[in-house]
């Protein structure tokens, strides 16, 4: 019924569109736009609507444009009917009409019109009207996303438009540059000074884009202004990449800022007064990444001003301030009161303010901050109260003068009525006690007394851990607690059970007389527990502590393993490593790399030629490339072996893309990144070179002792290595796995075993497995193809398909496939294509029809299939001129997955969700 | 590798009950199922404001702003400065408000065609094109009742045929050919006090921020200058793009060619060295006793440093603890309401009479068995004081150059409470 009415309405609309009256047509179009806005499908009306594209009525025309842009992709053939109208409009004397024709033409995502679009863009780029040229700059990006093969031609247009002196064009063309060829820094040289000078007059949105681009540019072209600031250099690990001699040279030469560097800083400064928060943030990040440290303070006021803006703006700005305040407390300390929490703030704003206040805490202001925190602890927002307790814990470890005050305050909170507050206090107290346990046995006793009333599992587990760890300080209470726990074991949560087993083991070792039977009872309960973690742990503990003939040498060391002194946990800001991302970016906000994120390169050690920015001098075309490879060389000292030289030779001759890619990877100070780039290399290397790699890894280990990198180690060796770490008492173990897929499964198994083992050693082990699989580079691509169509059934045509494991260019949700078609008959096959009709629901991106395939010839084409995340086979028709063959592709589950890199926090979070 | 298209891909408008009531795509269509991730976050959030502004999903990123109880959810595919999107979304809301008077679901639905035309002009391929209200109004005329009637009869349109001249000129914010019979320029200096007052009545933090909003209806291309008696008070300023920054740096004079109509000329922050006058004080006695189901609640308001001006439109609100069941209070003036569900107490006081101070007294009842709340509620106060800029900022002169006529000029001052909180 509903459907019927809908059809009727469509009929009405069609009639209205076909009438002679303008007003009726307009009314119909308005209704149709209403349908589109609601997300209803109005594609059926396409033929009736497209007829009105040439209408004289400008509003009607605009609404038709809206419709066209929305549905052209679905109705490509019909959309082509409108193209000639736009081509005519492109020549219209009215610039508004020319511009809007280009806008719509370039928004119609129909691959066939790519050449027409290209022509139109080239023409519009030389239009007299800057407004039309601006539209051309926008169209560049649209064409590029429709057909990336046009890249080279589009770069030519970008190069032309970059020279444009209109403020209207500048922002849009830089946007196109960032999208199409962000690595072609050489295109900017000649326009650098012009862009700096135009900047103040460019519209605000363009300013943001230009400032971000110039930040990247400056980091490749100027030397670091931070040289005197030795502290910062160390943090930055720059020393790691620079060789010794270079540093000496640097120190002897006094630093003079490049006038172009100064120009950028000077011309962006007034924009701190912009009303647009995005502009202010962009300038702030530019100063943060480019300005000498003593000039940074000017951005503080502006950032604090942004805090009075909307909630969402506050959120982003506070995140950036949180990152800044870790490195430079002094910047924001005078504005501490601006970060005081109001009861009306949203929870995420509150926690960010808390984070900043904690970062700003020092000996001088800690009493003020703690007084403020006291108010927060009482907040009705319990999540916030819990976060405050953690903040107090961080202040207590960072500022030793107040450790005792904080600890006493936290003990008082243990009698709070709210469970989350008590639980959080227990956890924080546990961490604080680890720093000085002997003086606080009374606090441990106090907590043991409270134990019965605490129900939050994490808090119970923490108290049990404290009992076990410091059982010698509370020799009477600990066995009693164990006795109680033996009774309630079966009703406890898993984390509590694990700690009960631990407590039992530790007491068995220190006080076996009293607890032997209890321990055995608990181990028996654990043996039959439903959770495999607990069963594993129990089994392991039994082997370790109860000596028998099988247990071998290990049980001799049981006491040394379980009771090893453990270093106190370091309470750190969650924003500590956020500075690996450029401030103000989406990646920084999310703390994970978003696609399309362009890494900020390190300062070059030696400034590239300054004269490239001189506009008068005309240089030979090859010059920039040579210069770039020079900088790359100076930064790559670390990898100074034969392969690097080969690379350089390549760089000299090949395109610049590859140069800057390798440069950016290797310049990056992020250790994960560099190790992953290493692994990419290593996977392509032969066995003989493995040794060299391991050596390098050792070097890395020396540099960063808390990160262990295991590359290409067979499981036995890995186990030994891990054992070694146990002996050397590492609490934090980052295991970076850079291994190929064949190895992967084996290694993961042994790793898991090891981790169980490790978890027993250290009750607070946080372990991370950084699997360096990145979406862009699959570690292993199978060469095997599957048969799609046999040559017998295909009457000579045979087809094979293969999963390329590359991100599909046709759509995000599509899986990329490579199809090899060969003709084994004795006559040419014509017009090979996939039929429009797809029997199953999958969305298929077809390959372009192959006009002719000669006998014995074969051709490889790529296609994309959206399997809708299911393993259901995609059925479709493979057609030739004469025949149709039904074929089907069945994906394996693995082929539907996209490898991703995730941060350790995400990993542990995900892992928790999936705990068996 | 194909670079993912940058900037804003699509926009979804979601109302308070979680329905998508409008969608607009600037590139290929993104299925509205992407909003499921937003709805998940919405469900998790205890308060509407607690939804995180940036939500990552497997293929997209959702950046949302909440205004007028509507979520504006933008779909992003790759790296873009989040503030860029947030700022743009707020501009969209401002534009809707400017066009339709209010930005509500009903207004947007009624004007869906204009909304679509606006969105089409504001973004091209996801990149902001025209966001300046003066330019937009030349491209798409705001709906008025008269025009709607005329349009239906004559079939004429809302859409301009010519490229707005502003787009190309050096003053893109002003349209040309402006004509008025009465030439007027009004400026409102509005200051807000943000403060946190502690239990004992002493000030923990207090700041003044202000704005100068203008309504300029002047013929032709007027060039205005505005100077202050005490420009040193202004510590940190942000300008409308029309203000000449160099002139301000050198002479502390605001020199500008104004946009036509309403606009915000300047926002400022008063330097923190100056002591902030606090115009009201609160005497409070709120207590809950252990074991008793009754609590005492007493509030009295009084004027403090008001420079002899009356404190008006006073509104007191407070989020009472969760354990509170009901409130039985009697105000000496004005009316009060208590919502037993949200536990929000609000008291519309009106004007404070210094001779007879307004008070709100009575008892609150706690849920039986509920324990004594840990914390006393925070009290939020709103007020207005006419004809006073609390910082003492004064406009000295307003001059016009470039045109011959004599305009009518007016300056108004006002002080308001910003985020003014009293902890009890």
Cα(A246)–Cα(B370) distance, integer angstroms: 70
| Nearest alpha-carbon partner for A667 in A724, A588, A601 | A601
Q: What angle do CA B108, B113, B119 make, to 5 degrees?
A: 80
The DSSP string of A101-152 is HHHHHHHS--GGGHHHHHHHHHHHHT-S-HHHHHHHHHHHHHHHHH-GGGHH
Q: Give the mean pLDDT of A709-713.
A: 38
Question: Is the model's pTM score more than 0.80?
Answer: no
Cα(A232)–Cα(A255) distance, integer angstroms: 16
By the CB < 8 Å criterion, does B107 face chain A? no
Q: In 3-state terms, what secondary structure has residue B73?
A: strand
Q: Give the mean pLDDT of A23-31.
A: 90
Contacts with A22 from chain B: Cβ below 8 Å: 155
pLDDT of A701 higher than 80: no
By the CB < 8 Å criterion, does B27 face chain A? yes
Give how far the C-alpha of residue A912 lies from the chain's centroid of Cα atoms, to the nearest Å.
21
pLDDT of A879 higher than 60: yes
Which of A729-733, A892-896, B192-196 is least confident?
A729-733
Q: Give the mean pLDDT of B316-326.
A: 88
A342/B421 touch (CB, cutoff 8 Å), yes or no: yes
Q: What is the pLDDT of residue A6?
A: 55
A595/B79 touch (CB, cutoff 8 Å), yes or no: yes
pLDDT bin (cut points 50, 70, 90) of residue A567 is confident
By the CB < 8 Å criterion, does B274 face chain A? no
| Nearest alpha-carbon partner for A223 in A292, A283, A297 | A292
Q: What is the pLDDT of residue B170?
A: 63
Q: What is the pLDDT of residue B54?
A: 95
By the CB < 8 Å criterion, does B78 face chain A? yes
pLDDT of B265 higher than 90: yes
Cα(A14)–Cα(A9) distance, integer angstroms: 9
Q: What burial class does residue A832 get, using C-beta atoms within 10 Å of its C-beta: 0-12 exposed, 13-18 middle, 19+ buried?
A: buried
A39/B32 touch (CB, cutoff 8 Å), yes or no: yes
pLDDT of A651 higher than 60: no
Q: What is the pLDDT of residue A735?
A: 39
Closest partner residue to B5 (CB to CB) among A145, A585, A590 is A145
pLDDT of B266 higher than 50: yes
pLDDT of A286 higher than 70: yes
Residue pair A474/A444 in contact by the 8 Å Cβ criterion? yes
More confident residue, B161 or B383: B383
pLDDT of A579 higher than 80: yes
B residues 122-151 near A, CB within 8 Å?
124-125, 127-129, 131
pLDDT bin (cut points 50, 70, 90) of residue A339 is very high
pLDDT of A198 higher than 80: yes
Q: Give the mean pLDDT of A204-222.
A: 94
* Mutation for testing the A interface, residue in B82, B162, B369 having most A CBs under 10 Å: B82
pLDDT of B237 higher than 50: yes
pLDDT bin (cut points 50, 70, 90) of residue A645 is very low
Strand order in the sheet with B70-76: B20-25, B8-14, B70-76, B61-67, B54-56
B6/A141 touch (CB, cutoff 8 Å), yes or no: yes
pLDDT of A355 higher than 90: yes
pLDDT of B140 higher than 90: no
Q: What is the pLDDT of residue A2?
A: 46
Distance from CA of B239 to the nearest CA of A (A): 6
Instruction: Give the list of residues 6+ apart from residue A127 with CB closer than 8 angstroms, or none.
Output: A95, A98, A133, A136
More confident residue, A660 or B162: B162
Q: Give the mean pLDDT of B245-263.
A: 91
pLDDT bin (cut points 50, 70, 90) of residue B4 is very low
pLDDT of A856 higher than 90: no
Q: What is the pLDDT of residue A443?
A: 83
Q: Please, what sign has the CA dihedral across residues B125, B131, B136, B139? A: negative
Q: What share of chain B is helix, strand, coil (3-state, %, to 5)?
A: 20, 40, 40
pLDDT bin (cut points 50, 70, 90) of residue B153 is low
Q: What is the pLDDT of residue A890?
A: 78
Quote ipTM for the complex.
0.92
Which of A422-426, A446-450, A677-681 is least confident?
A677-681
Q: What is the pLDDT of residue A816?
A: 79
| Nearest alpha-carbon partner for B79 in A211, A585, A286, A140 | A585
Which of A14-28, A205-219, A304-318, A605-619 is least confident?
A605-619
Q: Report how many Cβ contacts below 8 Å link chain A to chain B.
A: 263
List the single residue in A with minimal CA-CA distance to B11.
A37
Kindly report the average pLDDT of chain A as a whole number: 77
| Nearest alpha-carbon partner for A858 in A815, A824, A827 | A824
Q: What is the pLDDT of residue B122?
A: 92
Q: What is the pLDDT of residue B294?
A: 82
Q: Give the mean pLDDT of A865-877.
A: 77
Q: How many CB atoms lie within 10 A of CB A877?
A: 16
Instruction: Give the list of residues 6+ apart from residue A540 with CB closer than 8 angstroms, or none.
Output: A756, A757, A760
Q: What is the pLDDT of residue B149?
A: 56
Which of A138-147, A720-729, A737-746 is least confident?
A737-746
Q: Give the mean pLDDT of A774-779.
A: 46
pLDDT of A343 higher than 60: yes
Q: What is the pLDDT of residues A417-440, one digit of tens each?
A: 777 888 888 888 888 887 776 677
By the CB < 8 Å criterion, does B424 face chain A? no
List the single residue in A with minimal CA-CA distance to B7.
A175
pLDDT of B134 higher than 50: yes
Q: What is the pLDDT of residue A265?
A: 95
Cα(A365)–Cα(A399) distance, integer angstroms: 11
Alpha-carbon radius of gyration of chain B:
25
B residues 86-105 near A, CB within 8 Å?
86-88, 90
pLDDT bin (cut points 50, 70, 90) of residue A892 is confident
pLDDT bin (cut points 50, 70, 90) of residue A650 is very low
Contacts with B68 from chain A: Cβ below 8 Å: none
Contacts with B269 from chain A: Cβ below 8 Å: 301, 305, 308
The DSSP string of B318-381 is EE--TTEEEEEEEESSSEEEEETTTTEEEEEEES-BTTB--EEEEEEEEPTTPPPPSSPPPEEE
| Both structure tokens of B332 | 């000496």
Q: What is the pLDDT of residue A669?
A: 43
| Both structure tokens of B408 | 């009518």
B residues 233-262 near A, CB within 8 Å?
235-241, 245, 249
| Nearest alpha-carbon partner for A393 in A370, A372, A414, A375 | A370
pLDDT bin (cut points 50, 70, 90) of residue B88 is very high
B322/A380 touch (CB, cutoff 8 Å), yes or no: yes
Find the helix packing angle between A419-433 and A382-398, rounded to 10°.
10
Q: What is the pLDDT of residue A733?
A: 36
By the CB < 8 Å criterion, does B172 face chain A? yes
Q: What is the pLDDT of residues B380-410, one digit of tens each?
A: 999 999 999 999 999 999 999 989 899 999 9
Q: What is the pLDDT of residues A467-502, one digit of tens each?
A: 888 888 888 888 888 998 899 998 999 999 999 999
By the CB < 8 Å criterion, does A418 face chain B? yes
More confident residue, B371 or B333: B333
* Mutation for testing the B interface, residue in A586, A807, A905 having most B CBs under 10 Å: A586
B49/A311 touch (CB, cutoff 8 Å), yes or no: yes
């Amino acid at each position: 019924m509903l459907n019927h009415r809908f059809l009727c309405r469509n009929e009405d609309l069609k009639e209205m569109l076909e009438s002679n009256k303008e007003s009726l047509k307009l009314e119909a179009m308005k209704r149709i736009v209403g349908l589109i806005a609601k997300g209803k499908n109005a594609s059926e009306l396409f033929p009736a609507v497209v007829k009105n594209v040439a209408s004289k009525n400008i509003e009607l025309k605009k609404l038709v444009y809206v419709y066209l842009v929305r549905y052209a992709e679905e109705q490509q053939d019909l959309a082509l009917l409108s193209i000639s109208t736009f081509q005519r409009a492109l020549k219209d004397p009215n610039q508004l009409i020319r511009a809007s024709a280009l806008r719509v033409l370039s928004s119609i995502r129909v691959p066939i019109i790519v050449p027409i679009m290209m022509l139109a863009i080239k023409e519009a780029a030389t239009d007299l009207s800057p407004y039309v040229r601006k539209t051309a700059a926008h169209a560049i990006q649209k064409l590029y996303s429709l057909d990336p093969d046009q890249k080279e031609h589009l770069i030519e247009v970008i190069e032309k438009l970059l020279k444009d002196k209109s403020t209207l064009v500048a922002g849009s063309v830089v946007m196109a540059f960032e999208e199409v060829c962000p690595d072609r820094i050489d295109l900017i040289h000649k326009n650098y000074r012009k862009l700096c000078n135009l900047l103040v007059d460019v519209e605000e949105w363009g300013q943001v884009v230009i400032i971000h681009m110039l930040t990247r540019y400056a980091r490749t072209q100027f030397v670091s202004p931070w040289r005197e600031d030795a502290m910062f250099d160390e943090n930055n690990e720059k020393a790691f990449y620079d060789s010794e001699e270079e540093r000496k040279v640097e120190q002897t030469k006094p630093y003079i800022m490049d006038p172009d560097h100064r120009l950028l800083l000077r011309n962006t400064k007034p924009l701190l007064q912009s009303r647009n928060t995005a502009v202010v943030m962009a300038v702030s990040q530019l100063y943060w990444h480019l300005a000498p440290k003593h000039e940074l303070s000017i951005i503080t006021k502006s950032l604090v001003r942004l805090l009075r803006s909307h909630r969402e703006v506050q959120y982003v700005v506070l995140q950036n301030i949180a990152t800044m305040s870790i490195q430079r407390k002094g910047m924001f300390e005078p504005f501490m009161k601006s970060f005081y929490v109001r009861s009306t703030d949203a929870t995420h704003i509150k926690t960010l303010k808390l984070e900043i206040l904690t970062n700003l805490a020092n000996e001088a202001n800690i009493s003020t901050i703690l007084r403020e925190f006291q108010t927060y602890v009482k907040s009705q927002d319990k999540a916030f109260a819990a976060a405050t307790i953690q903040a107090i814990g961080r202040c207590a470890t960072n500022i030793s003068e107040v450790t005792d005050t904080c600890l006493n305050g936290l003990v008082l909170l243990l009698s709070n009525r709210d469970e989350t507050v008590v639980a959080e206090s227990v956890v924080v107290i546990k961490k604080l006690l680890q720093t000085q346990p002997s003086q606080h046995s009374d606090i441990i006793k106090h907590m043991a007394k409270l134990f019965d009333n605490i129900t939050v599992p994490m808090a119970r587990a923490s108290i049990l851990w404290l009992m076990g760890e410091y059982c010698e300080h509370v020799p009477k209470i600990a066995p009693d607690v164990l006795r109680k726990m033996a009774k309630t074991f079966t009703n406890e949560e898993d984390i509590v059970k694990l700690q009960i087993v631990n407590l039992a083991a530790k007491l068995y070792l220190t006080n076996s007389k009293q607890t032997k039977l209890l321990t055995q009872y608990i181990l028996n309960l654990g043996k039959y527990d439903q959770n495999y973690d607990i069963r594993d742990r129990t089994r392991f503990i039994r082997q370790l502590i109860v000596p028998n003939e099988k247990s071998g040498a290990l049980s001799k060391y049981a006491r040394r393993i379980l009771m090893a002194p453990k270093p106190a946990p370091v309470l750190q800001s969650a924003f500590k490593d956020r500075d690996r991302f450029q401030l103000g970016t989406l990646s920084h906000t999310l703390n994970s790399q978003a696609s399309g994120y362009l890494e900020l390169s390190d300062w070059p050690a030696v400034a590239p030629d300054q004269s490239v920015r001189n506009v008068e001098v005309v240089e030979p075309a090859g010059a920039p490339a040579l210069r770039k490879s020079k900088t790359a060389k100076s930064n790559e000292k670390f990898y100074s072996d034969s392969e690097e030289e080969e690379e350089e030779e390549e760089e000299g001759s090949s395109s610049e893309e590859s140069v800057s890619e390798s440069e950016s990877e290797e310049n990056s100070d992020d250790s994960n990144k560099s190790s992953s780039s290493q692994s990419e290399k290593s996977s392509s290397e032969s066995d003989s070179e493995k040794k060299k790699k391991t050596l390098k890894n050792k070097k890395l280990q020396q540099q960063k002792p808390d990160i262990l990198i295991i590359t290409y180690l067979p499981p036995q060796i890995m186990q030994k290595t891990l054992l070694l770490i146990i002996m050397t008492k590492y609490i934090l173990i980052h295991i970076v796995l850079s291994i190929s897929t064949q190895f992967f499964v084996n290694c993961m198994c042994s790793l898991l075993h090891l981790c169980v083992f490790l978890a027993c050693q250290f009750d607070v082990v946080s372990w991370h497995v950084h699997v360096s699989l990145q979406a862009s580079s699959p570690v292993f691509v199978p060469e095997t193809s599957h048969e799609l169509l046999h040559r017998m059934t295909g009457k000579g045509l045979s087809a094979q398909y293969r999963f390329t494991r590359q991100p599909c260019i046709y759509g995000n949700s599509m899986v990329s496939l490579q199809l090899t078609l060969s003709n084994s008959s004795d006559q040419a096959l014509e017009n090979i294509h996939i039929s429009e009709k797809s029997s199953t629901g999958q969305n298929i991106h077809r390959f372009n029809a192959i006009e002719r395939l000669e006998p014995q010839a074969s051709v490889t084409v790529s296609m994309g299939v959206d399997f809708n995340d299911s393993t259901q086979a995609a059925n479709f028709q493979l057609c030739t001129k004469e025949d149709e063959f039904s074929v089907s592709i069945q994906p394996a589950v693995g082929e539907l997955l996209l490898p991703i890199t995730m941060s350790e926090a995400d990993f542990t979070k995900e892992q928790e969700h999936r705990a068996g | 590798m194909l670079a993912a298209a940058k900037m804003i891909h699509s926009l979804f408008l979601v109302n308070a009950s979680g329905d998508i009531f409008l969608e607009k795509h600037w590139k290929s269509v993104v299925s509205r199922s992407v909003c499921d991730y937003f709805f998940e976050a919405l469900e998790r959030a205890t308060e509407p404001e607690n939804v995180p502004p940036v939500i990552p999903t497997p293929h997209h990123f959702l950046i949302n702003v909440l205004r007028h109880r509507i979520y504006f959810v933008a779909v992003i595919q790759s790296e873009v400065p989040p503030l860029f999107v947030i700022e743009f979304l707020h501009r969209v809301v401002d534009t809707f408000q400017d066009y339709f008077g209010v930005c509500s679901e009903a207004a947007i639905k009624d004007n869906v065609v204009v909304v679509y035309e606006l969105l089409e002009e504001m973004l091209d391929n996801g990149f902001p094109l025209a966001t300046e209200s003066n330019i937009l109004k030349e491209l798409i005329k705001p709906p008025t009742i008269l025009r709607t009637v005329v349009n239906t009869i004559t079939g004429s349109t809302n859409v301009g045929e010519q490229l707005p001249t502003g787009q190309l000129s050096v003053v893109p914010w002003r349209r040309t050919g402006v004509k008025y019979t009465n030439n007027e320029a009004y400026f409102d200096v509005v200051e807000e006090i943000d403060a946190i007052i502690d239990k004992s009545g002493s000030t923990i933090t207090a700041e003044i921020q202000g704005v100068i909003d203008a309504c300029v209806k002047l013929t032709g291309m007027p060039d205005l200058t505005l100077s202050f008696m005490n420009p040193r008070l202004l510590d940190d300023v942000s300008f409308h793009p029309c203000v000449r920054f160099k002139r301000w740096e050198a002479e502390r004079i605001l020199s500008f060619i104004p946009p036509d109509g309403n606009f915000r000329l300047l926002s400022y922050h008063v330097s923190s060295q100056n002591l902030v006058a606090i115009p009201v004080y609160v005497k409070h006695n709120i207590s809950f006793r252990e074991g008793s189901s009754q609590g005492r609640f007493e509030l009295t308001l009084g004027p403090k440093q008001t420079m002899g001006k009356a404190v008006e439109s006073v509104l007191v609100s407070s989020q009472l603890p969760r354990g509170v069941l009901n409130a039985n209070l009697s105000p000496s003036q004005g009316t009060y309401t208590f919502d037993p569900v949200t536990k929000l107490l609000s008291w519309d006081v009106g004007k404070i009479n210094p001779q007879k101070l307004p008070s709100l007294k009575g008892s609150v009842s706690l849920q039986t068995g509920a324990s004594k709340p840990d914390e006393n509620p925070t009290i939020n106060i709103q007020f207005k004081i006419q004809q006073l800029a609390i910082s003492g900022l004064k406009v000295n002169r307003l001059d016009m150059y470039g045109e011959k006529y004599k305009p009518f000029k007016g300056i108004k001052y006002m002080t308001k409470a910003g985020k003014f909180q009293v902890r009890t």
